[in-house]
């Protein structure tokens, strides 16, 4: 590299200067964030927005209403999100979990470790979805990582391309102050940068991090 490798925090500050505040996660309720975290699995956010709007129009954006709605009917309203039959089953499962445990007012009192274990036991909830819910709904300092995170930081030389989810999450949590607001904004900046600049076939010429990146050379 031509430049000394920056710190993880310095990369965040540079992305923030370039992209501005992201303000994730846009939603009208805690439950809507949970629904969005399930629907965004393997699809673009624009598709999720259409599904959420459809659910709201049908007054289905509560756990009670979603549980009461039949799976075929629910699938019909989330068709835009892709794999809608699978996601309808997952929405039923997360709705039952949320409602049966007393919703936000009760679950927010749980320690983070218990919350994560409980979420990971819900049908269709993997580590990324669980951590997104923990971070954006319950405001706990758990870093959400995804394929975008791995792509960007392996290209920058911080991690191996085949590193595990947990090792990548641990990498960020051990190199940043434990701050849920920071984690949420950083995750959002990574996603935006990887979607628009550090793509599979990247636009290195317009990347604000290219001076640190072996891949761009």
Domain 30-136: state its class: mainly alpha
Separation between Cα atoms, residue 164 and residue 47, nearest integer Å: 28
Separation between Cα atoms, residue 133 and residue 215, nearest integer Å: 32
Q: Is the pTM of this model over 0.85?
A: yes
Residue 174 confidence (pLDDT) = 97
For residue 11, is pLDDT > 80?
Answer: yes
Residue of 6, 4, 83, 8 lying closest to 38 (CA atoms): 83
User: Mean pLDDT throughout 73-90?
Assistant: 97
For residue 217, is pLDDT > 80?
Answer: no
Which residues fall within 8 angstroms of residue 168, CB to CB, at 6 or more apart? 145, 149, 150, 153, 159
For residue 161, is pLDDT > 70?
Answer: yes
User: Mean pLDDT throughout 45-51?
Assistant: 95
Q: Quick: pLDDT tens for 88-124.
A: 999 999 999 999 999 999 999 999 999 999 999 999 9
For residue 3, is pLDDT > 80?
Answer: no
Q: Quick: pLDDT tens for 22-36.
A: 999 989 999 999 999
| Residues forming CATH 1.10.340.30 domain(s) in the chain | 30-136
Cis peptide before 25 (omega within 30 of 0): yes
| Residues forming CATH 1.10.1670.10 domain(s) in the chain | 8-23+144-212
**3-class SS of residue 76:** helix
Residue 1 confidence (pLDDT) = 42
User: Mean pLDDT throughout 13-18?
Assistant: 95
Residue of 144, 155, 150 lying closest to 207 (CA atoms): 155
User: Binning pLDDT at 50, 70 and 90, where does residue 216 land?
Assistant: confident
CATH architecture of 8-23+144-212: Orthogonal Bundle (1.10)
CA–CA distances in Å: residue 214 to residues 13, 73, 204: 20, 50, 11
């Amino acid at each position: 590299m031509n430049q000394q490798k920056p710190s993880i925090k310095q990369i965040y500050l540079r992305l923030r200067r370039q992209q501005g505040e992201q303000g994730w996660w846009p939603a009208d309720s805690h439950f809507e964030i949970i629904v969005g975290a399930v629907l965004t699995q393997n699809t673009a956010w624009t598709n999720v927005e259409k599904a959420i709007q459809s659910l709201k129009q049908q007054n289905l954006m509560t756990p009670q209403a979603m549980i009461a709605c039949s799976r075929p009917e629910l699938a019909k309203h989330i068709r835009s999100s892709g794999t809608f039959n699978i996601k309808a089953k997952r929405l039923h499962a997360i709705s039952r979990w949320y409602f049966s445990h007393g919703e936000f007012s009760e679950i927010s009192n749980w320690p983070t470790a218990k919350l994560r274990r409980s979420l990971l036991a819900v049908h269709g909830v993997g580590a990324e979805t669980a951590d997104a819910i923990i971070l954006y709904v319950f405001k706990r300092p758990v870093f959400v990582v995804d394929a975008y995170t791995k792509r960007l930081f392996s290209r920058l030389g911080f991690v191996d391309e085949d590193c595990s989810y947990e090792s990548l999450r641990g990498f960020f949590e051990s190199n940043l102050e434990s701050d849920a607001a920071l984690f949420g904004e950083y995750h959002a900046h990574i996603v935006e940068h990887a979607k628009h600049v550090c793509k599979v076939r990247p636009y290195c010429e317009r990347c604000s991090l290219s001076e640190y990146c072996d891949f761009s050379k």
